[in-house]
Amino acid sequence: MRLHEKMAPVSIKRVLISESVDPCCKTILQENGIDVTERQNMNQEELIVQIKDYDGLVVRSATKVTADIIYAASNLKIIGRAGTGVDNVDVDVATKKGIIVMNTPNGNTISAAELTCALVINLSRHVPQAVMSMKAENWDRKKFMGAELYGKTLGIIGLGRIGKEVASRMQSFAMRTIGYDPITPPEVSASWGVEQMSLEELWPQCDYITVHTPLMPSTTGLLNDASFAKCKRGVKVVNCARGGIIDEAALLRALESGQCGGAGLDVFVEEPPKDWTLIKHPNVISCPHLGASTREAQARCGQDIALQIVDMVKGKALVGAVNAQVLACTFSPDSQQWIRLGKAMGRVLKACCSSKQPFAHVHITTQGECLKKSAGFLSSAAVVGLLTEGPEIVPNLVNALPLAEETGITIKRSHSDEAKMACMVEVSVNGSIYKAVGSVQAGVPVLLELNGSVFWQPVPLSGNLLFFKATGSPQLLSSVTGILATAGVAMERFSASSAPGDDQWYCVGIPSQLADLSTLKSLVKEALQLAM
């Protein structure tokens, strides 16, 4: 591979689509040389059997990608969710296995926002109930007295893409839009007409509340007995996000007491529901999870997930990855060489202290303005080099830091604004510190310093390298050359270093590794060899 050629982090040759995804997804993947198999309606056991043959898996929401499936997927490198959210995927286990989990964050934004608005409007005018009454040949004008949206307050919990689109649409009805989001800055939401406040401030002001958050521990049961009690009597709520954000039992109690005046529900804790009590309540409007069920959204999601996979494979970009943000900065020739450097320095340090495992601490320091935002992927790269590859889990940029944490290794990052661009990796083992400093010169990763010894000539980290530590003497080089010659190994390049004291590190480039390092024992104090 040429040094400046773009490098893809993963190779995807076979993809399994386990659900009904727009046909454009399969077409785009196939047009880019990826073999695609479509097999719908598989149960867990069938998917466990099938998945081992594939590099990629594309799902929507029905397929539950459990830990059992992920551990059975010996070749799997990516799980693509054609839609928003990934709560049907065990992301933690996928990350541990080094598998990228990707979704299409923009694919169903408009469709979900429009359905939310439709439910708000229908709640205000009782349209579904009136329709059903008419179909029963009843003419009950007084029974379905509604209310205008004009001048009412809509509380939007979750001010991401969908929350923003809901706000802009409901503002056209002259609704006041307020909201809560722990991530979106208040000045940003204010720019599109949403005043942010705490939940305690929000609850009592709302005539309508809509939720647009992921389902996670902090959002599960967000609307519950306590929060309903703080709302206006008769508040109406909408959930087109994820079942469970609104506590269904609490909602039913609020509906029956009149504290909640109506609910528009597109999602449920259990889908399809087994208990229909809530859905049958006369003030509930419900849909069978239709938020993304438009032709446009399905086409967009199918197209987006296919293009995201293709762009990743071609090394163009990484979009929609929920567990591999570190890779987003790596899609350039320059960053690829720094990744190679980080991995190589990790391997050198691992070899230096291999007999003194385990590592306790790893400290990565970046130097130079251009590397200010590179500590993330350089940390992952160095840890990949430090970790031992196991029979089941191979360390990569996706899982390196979680694996390090699992094994008790503490990772620290820092940056120095020195003029030169370099990366320093320090590891602590049983109280001893081992340090390597490297850089990239003319597109080639090089080692500048090892354990205090500064090399006169930077060591290119490629090919077979023999490192040894010894006391400098005029006869050292000729003696080492003689031992190599006796072993039938020629010296291709040689780098010496300077260091405080008598002992210093040397590096020799050789065409093949020595079969027995003990032949150097009489000349050197330490020796190690690596194939880069």
Is 114 a residue whose pLDDT tops 80? yes
Candidate from 70-74, 262-266, 486-490, 507-511 with smallest mean pLDDT: 486-490
Task: Report the number of distinct structural domains present in the chain.
Answer: 4
Q: Are residues 465 and 397 in the same domain?
A: no
Q: What is the mean predicted confidence (pLDDT) over 107-135?
A: 96
pLDDT, tens digit, for every residue of 503-518? 889 999 999 988 888 8
pLDDT confidence of residue 376: 82
Q: What is the mean predicted confidence (pLDDT) over 269-275?
A: 93
Q: Which of 271, 296, 406, 418 is catalytic?
A: 271
Residue 170 structure tokens: 């409901």
**1 found inside a domain:** no
What is the C-alpha to C-alpha distance for residues 330 and 310, in angstroms, rounded to an integer? 16
Categorise residue 235: left if φ over 0, alpha if ψ from -120 to 50, beta otherwise: beta
pLDDT confidence of residue 10: 75
What is the C-alpha to C-alpha distance for residues 143 and 92, in angstroms, rounded to an integer? 51
> SS3 sequence, 243-255?
CCCECHHHHHHHH
Q: Are residues 469 and 507 in the same domain?
A: yes
Q: Which of 81, 126, 169, 242 is catalytic?
A: 242
Average pLDDT value over all residues in the chain: 90
pLDDT confidence of residue 2: 29
User: Which CATH number is 482's domain given?
Assistant: 3.30.70.260
pLDDT, tens digit, for every residue of 25-41? 999 999 999 999 999 98
Residue 133 structure tokens: 């009454």
Cα separations (Å) of 40 from 37, 49, 59, 461?
10, 14, 10, 48
Candidate from 119-123, 358-362, 392-396 with smallest mean pLDDT: 392-396
Residue 60 structure tokens: 């929507």
Nearest to 175 by CA among 156, 197, 202: 156
Q: What is the mean predicted confidence (pLDDT) over 165-186?
A: 97
Among 451, 473, 500, residue at a domain's last position: 451
Q: Are residues 155 and 267 in the same domain?
A: yes
pLDDT confidence of residue 355: 56
Q: Which of 81, 212, 289, 340 is catalytic?
A: 289
Q: Are residues 390 and 476 in the same domain?
A: no
Q: Are residues 258 and 145 in the same domain?
A: yes
In sequence order, the 6+-apart residues with CB closer than 8 A to the CB of 483 are 519, 520, 523
Q: What is the mean predicted confidence (pLDDT) over 333-357?
A: 83
Residue 445 or residue 10, greater confidence: 445
Q: What is the mean predicted confidence (pLDDT) over 461-465?
A: 93
Q: What is the mean predicted confidence (pLDDT) over 115-122?
A: 98
Is 4 a residue whose pLDDT tops 50? no
Q: Are residues 213 and 81 in the same domain?
A: no
pLDDT confidence of residue 336: 82
**2 found inside a domain:** no
pLDDT confidence of residue 85: 79
Among 451, 474, 493, residue at a domain's last position: 451
**8 found inside a domain:** no
What is the C-alpha to C-alpha distance for residues 238 and 213, in angstroms, rounded to an integer? 12
pLDDT, tens digit, for every residue of 251-265? 999 999 999 999 999
Is 120 a residue whose pLDDT tops 90? yes
Q: Are residues 220 and 124 in the same domain?
A: yes
Q: Are residues 268 and 245 in the same domain?
A: yes
Cα 211 to the chain's mean position, in Å?
23
**497 found inside a domain:** yes
Is 463 a residue whose pLDDT tops 50? yes
What is the C-alpha to C-alpha distance for residues 528 and 307, in angstroms, rounded to an integer? 45
Domain of residue 306: give its range: 14-106+296-324
Q: What is the pTM of this model?
A: 0.75
* Strand order through the sheet with 195-196: 195-196, 176-180, 153-157, 208-211, 235-239, 260-265, 284-286
pLDDT confidence of residue 5: 35
Is 289 one of the annotated active-site residues of the chain? yes
User: Which burial class, exposed, middle or buried, applies to 161 when counting CB atoms under 10 A from its CB (0-12, 13-18, 19+)?
Assistant: middle
Is 242 one of the annotated active-site residues of the chain? yes
Give the DSSP H or E segment for 485: helix 476-486
pLDDT confidence of residue 1: 27
User: Which CATH number is 407's domain given?
Assistant: 3.30.1330.90
pLDDT confidence of residue 9: 55
Contact 357, 406 (CB under 8 A): no
Among 286, 314, 346, residue at a domain's last position: 286
pLDDT confidence of residue 511: 92
pLDDT confidence of residue 343: 93
Is 239 a residue whose pLDDT tops 70? yes
Contact 317, 331 (CB under 8 A): yes
pLDDT confidence of residue 331: 62
Residue 188 or residue 84, greater confidence: 188
Confidence class of residue 3 from pLDDT cuts 50, 70 and 90? very low
Cα Rg, the chain, nearest whole Å: 30
pLDDT, tens digit, for every residue of 375-392? 888 888 999 998 866 556
Q: Are residues 443 and 458 in the same domain?
A: no
Is 213 a residue whose pLDDT tops 90? yes
Candidate from 60-69, 111-120, 191-200 with smallest mean pLDDT: 60-69
Q: Are residues 120 and 211 in the same domain?
A: yes
Is 125 one of the annotated active-site residues of the chain? no
Residue 356 or residue 361, greater confidence: 361
Q: What is the mean predicted confidence (pLDDT) over 71-80?
A: 94
Q: Are residues 268 and 124 in the same domain?
A: yes
pLDDT confidence of residue 356: 54
Q: Are residues 498 and 370 in the same domain?
A: no
Contact 68, 41 (CB under 8 A): no
User: Which CATH number is 18's domain given?
Assistant: 3.40.50.720
